[in-house]
Amino acid sequence: MRQSVTVLTALLAMVVLVAAGPLSAEPAREISVIPQPQSVSYGEGRFVVTADTVIVADDELQAIGQYLSELLSGSTGYELPVRTPGDDAPVSGVIRLGLNPGPEDIGDQGYVLTVSQAGIDLSAKAPAGVFYGCQTLRQLLPAVQAQGQAADGVEYSIPALEIRDTPRFPQWRGMHLDTSRHFFSVDFVKQYIDLLAMYKFNTFHWHLTEDQGWRIQINKHPLLTDIGAWRTDKDGNRYGGFYTQDQVREIVAYAQSRFITVVPEIEMPGHSVAALAAYPHLSCTGGPFEVSNKWGVHKEVYCAGNEQTFELLTDVLAEVIEMFPGEYIHVGGDEVPKDRWESCEKCQSRIKVEGLADEHELQSYFIKRIDTFLAGHGKKLVGWDEILEGGLAPGATVMSWRGEKGGIAAAKMGRDVVMSPYSHLYFDFKQSDDPEEMGATWGGYPIPLKLVYSYEPVPAELSEDEAQHILGAQANVWTEPIETPEHVQYMILPRMLGLSEVVWSAKDQRDWPGFEARVIEHYRRFDALGLTYRDHRD
């Protein structure tokens, strides 16, 4: 449906352009917006942003107007005032942000951006669309950052055009960050969120607990961070850190103002050695344990036969629910060795009492209990595809990482899916076979930008109805080999640009040479912003 609208729009644009003759002279290459908007048509002339330009925003859009003013101040050095309509607003030199019930086909995240020599009009049905339009607007300006004042010899101008845009996957355009293997500051997490915003992602999956560190303050169980947030690395150094609840709220609000939902991940029943170091009685053996300083899959997992395990985890989730207003809570569920459960009296007794067939069904029992708890608090559970084993919990959404098989199976069961296969979307894997590449020791094979860009989130074997269950896609950034902010930037830039286009732009717009040319333009933006990246041509 959307594709036929796009085709129709393109045909109409051609008719208009043919009729108008020279108006179409502007080469498409002139703008380098990523992700590629669904439709662009060019007019005549340019709008020039000057020190006298004014932003006029509807009342509900004042905060976005302010955000746009800050973005533009960053690139131009001008401090543009933000006014409401009707104030003595000038008639020209205005960037106008407005809410508008139509047009019908752009959805709640779409926008229409009209640039003429006289002014800019950005309208959308809902604030999210206006926000995305601001990101487009920012990318239409030259790739420079002002050092406090407008740069000499730069014209801050935008070609006259009309962009009508809307995302292909409105529900889940995700990026993940593991802050447990290595810890990242609040400031860096905000910078990460800013990068997501720039490329119109709407979901930040925040991996907060692991064998190697528990990173979120839980008031009722302080040892989770007093003990669980700190490890002794192999070189003897103490390493760690955690986010206080105030910091978590600050990050969630920061993301919210950028139309990004934060999905916290609290891992269970595996990847939980840090929690078990704090509370060893929740393991099958009783411990003692140390917060791990080794990577890989650990055999120590929560005891599924012990009621206290569920008491702790529901206490934790109750506090997590208070901090994260989004719909989804991620509970991990991946890589759970069954060794301890096989030889644990309590776990075996649980299997018997509940009439479970084996340890896989015990894992399913575990996740189902948590699913029931979350559903009772108005939240949806999402977990890695191992949660399919032994039976999928009724409310669960599946994040397919071991390829697409899990996602396909879940969609065929009529269940929601986020595609995140390691074949294309593990951004901790290296980007090339270049031995000079930063951090190239990790990942069995390279995932270059072109491979990311080739990813299609909807598997061909799904029917149209089943395909509706593919909410979108997400890339993951596990940080075992990644210790610094610059290294995280290097791993996601430019690969997240490829993913942004996969999840935002129309399927039939995929065009590697065109995308590559635009990416190269974005390298100049990264340079201007002081970001570290890997040039995919190296």
Q: Spell out, one character per residue from 234 to 273, where the chain touches Zn ion: x when CB under 5 A holds, - when not.
A: ----------------------------------------
Q: How far is the CB of 478 from ligand ACM (least distance, A)?
A: 6
- If one asks whether residue 303 binds Zn ion (CB under 5 A), the answer comes out as yes
Rounded to an integer, what distance in angstroms lies between the CA atom of residue 301 and that of residue 444? 27
Unique residue bearing structure tokens 């607007």? 137
- If one asks whether residue 305 binds Zn ion (CB under 5 A), the answer comes out as yes
Catalytic pick among 44, 290, 335, 486: 335
Q: How far is the CB of 401 from ligand ACM (least distance, A)?
A: 4
Buried b (16+ CB within 10 A) or exposed e, 1-22: ebeebbeebeeebeeebeeeee
Nearer to ligand ACM, 121 or 300 (CB): 300
DSSP secondary structure code for residue 74 in this structure: H
Size of the site for Zn ion (CB under 5 A): 6
Segment lying near Zn ion (by CB under 5 A), choices 43-51, 109-117, 298-306, 459-467: 298-306
Interaction residues for Zn ion, span 276-295 (CB under 5 A) = 284
Q: Which of ligand ACM, Zn ion, none does 305 bind, CB closer than 5 to 8 A by kind?
A: Zn ion
- If one asks whether residue 346 binds Zn ion (CB under 5 A), the answer comes out as yes
Q: How far is the CB of 510 from ligand ACM (least distance, A)?
A: 26
Q: How far is the CB of 335 from ligand ACM (least distance, A)?
A: 5
Active site residue 319: no
Neighbouring-strand partners of residue 94: 54, 119
Residue numbers at the binding site for ligand ACM (CB under 6 A): 334-335, 384, 401
Taken as a whole, the chain contains a residue count of 538
* Structure token pair of residue 99: 């809410």
Q: Which of Zn ion, ligand ACM, none does 384 bind, CB closer than 5 to 8 A by kind?
A: ligand ACM
* CB 302 within 8 Å of CB 272: yes
Torsion, Cα of 380, 259, 494, 435 (10° steps): -50
Nearer to Zn ion, 31 or 284 (CB): 284
Residue nearest to ligand ACM (CB): 334
Q: What are phi and psi of 204, to 5 degrees?
A: -115, 110
Segment lying near Zn ion (by CB under 5 A), choices 41-49, 297-305, 397-405, 473-481: 297-305
- If one asks whether residue 475 binds Zn ion (CB under 5 A), the answer comes out as no
Q: How far is the CB of 442 from ligand ACM (least distance, A)?
A: 12
Buried b (16+ CB within 10 A) or exposed e, 69-99: bebbeebbbbebebbeeeeeeeeebbbbbeb
Neighbouring-strand partners of residue 97: 57, 122
Nearer to Zn ion, 52 or 307 (CB): 307
How many Cβ atoms from other residues are within 10 Å of residue 159's Cβ? 18
Q: How far is the CB of 334 from ligand ACM (least distance, A)?
A: 4
Judged by CB under 5 A, the residue of 71, 263, 312, 347 near Zn ion is 347
**Sequential DSSP letters for 99-132:** E-S--GGGTTT-EEEEE-SSEEEEEESSHHHHHH
- If one asks whether residue 344 binds Zn ion (CB under 5 A), the answer comes out as yes
Q: Which of ligand ACM, Zn ion, none does 393 bind, CB closer than 5 to 8 A by kind?
A: none
Rounded to an integer, what distance in angstroms lies between the CA atom of residue 402 and that of residue 409? 12
* CB 240 within 8 Å of CB 301: no
Q: Which residues bind Zn ion (CB under 5 A)?
A: 284, 303, 305, 344, 346-347
Catalytic residues: 335
